[in-house]
């Protein structure tokens, strides 16, 4: 066996794994959706793909270091002028540096064509949101059963009865929703549907808006937020506009907040006060 060949082939495979995981993470639904719906691709979850991507990057870094060691003379040869004197800023190096700098600058400035790549990724992720649906609040799967039932406005006894009828043991109110779903080979989303039961058991009125912002709330559009809390979008827009907030219900809450020079929690406070929930 040749160590030089092993290093080169390892570097090649690490790059291939990095490329594959990069594409997967580019198209995977938003985290709050992926975890809620237990999204997988080729049997691997978003977390597993992320772990693969991280470790592939580490493997690539190590292999690249050895590759550079074994090929030091050819590499330094690229940095020599016609007189064979070492010169870092050769025309070739300058061009490579310029290309890299342009890509980095356009990315940070969020301008085309780099911005188009990000926009495409967001569009693909939003498609996943439409397919799998939004969780009732950000990272709801990380809540314990007691907190989850309270946050989604379900009757605790009805929820537990529906779970028991489906053969799901949920005697511990501190059990984490994600763990309970995993133990029963289903997604948190499917577990929630069981807890809600039939249509006549489901809450129909507006759910209380939390006084603290659950994780992921800022990424929800106003429409998705209202849907999660059984609220009328037009009424929410009216309340916000009456408070001087410029609103596009199709925009994320964080974007609406930034456009109006406020925090997302300020928007929630306005909606809660507009419904008289703070009285």
Give residue 20's pLDDT: 95
Give residue 216's pLDDT: 66
Per-residue pLDDT 10s for the chain (279 aa) are 788 888 889 999 999 999 999 999 999 988 888 888 899 999 999 999 999 999 999 999 999 999 888 887 776 766 666 666 667 777 778 898 899 999 999 999 988 888 898 888 888 887 877 777 778 777 889 889 998 888 777 888 888 889 988 899 888 889 999 999 999 999 999 999 898 876 555 555 666 776 666 666 777 888 888 877 778 888 888 898 888 998 888 888 889 989 998 888 888 888 887 655 544
Q: 0.75 exceeded by the pTM?
A: no
Give residue 279's pLDDT: 43
Give residue 250's pLDDT: 87
Give residue 33's pLDDT: 85
Six-digit token string for 67: 């590759």
Q: Which residues contact 151 (CB under 8 A, 6 or more apart)?
A: 136, 137, 140, 143, 210, 214
Give residue 16's pLDDT: 95
Name which of 265, 179, 252, 196 is nearest 219 in CA terms.
252
Give residue 93's pLDDT: 80
């Amino acid at each position: 066996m040749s160590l030089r060949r092993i290093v080169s082939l390892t570097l090649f495979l690490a790059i291939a794994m990095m490329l594959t995981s990069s594409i997967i993470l580019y198209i995977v639904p938003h985290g709050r959706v992926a975890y809620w719906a237990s999204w997988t691709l080729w049997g691997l979850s978003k977390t597993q793909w992320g772990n693969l991507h991280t470790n592939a990057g580490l493997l690539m870094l190590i292999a690249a270091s050895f590759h550079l060691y074994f090929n030091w003379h050819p590499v330094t040869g690229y940095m020599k002028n016609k007189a064979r004197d070492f010169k870092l800023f050769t025309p070739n190096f300058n061009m490579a540096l310029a290309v890299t700098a342009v890509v980095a600058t356009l990315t940070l400035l969020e301008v085309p064509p780099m911005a188009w790549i990000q926009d495409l990724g967001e569009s693909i992720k939003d498609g996943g949101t439409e397919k799998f649906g939004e969780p009732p609040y950000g990272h709801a799967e990380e809540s314990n059963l007691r907190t989850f039932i309270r946050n989604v406005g379900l009757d605790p006894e009805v929820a537990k009865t529906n779970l028991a009828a489906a053969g799901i043991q949920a005697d511990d109110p501190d059990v984490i929703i994600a763990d309970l779903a995993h133990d029963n080979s289903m997604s948190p989303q499917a577990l929630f549907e069981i807890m809600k039961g039939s249509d006549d058991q489901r809450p129909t009125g507006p759910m209380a808006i939390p006084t603290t912002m659950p994780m992921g709330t800022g990424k929800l559009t106003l429409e998705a937020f209202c849907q999660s809390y059984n609220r009328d979008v037009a009424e929410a827009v009216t309340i916000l506009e009456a408070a001087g907030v410029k609103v596009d219900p199709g925009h994320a809450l964080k974007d609406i907040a930034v456009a109006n020079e406020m925090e997302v929690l300020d928007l929630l406070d306005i909606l809660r006060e507009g419904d008289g929930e703070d009285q």
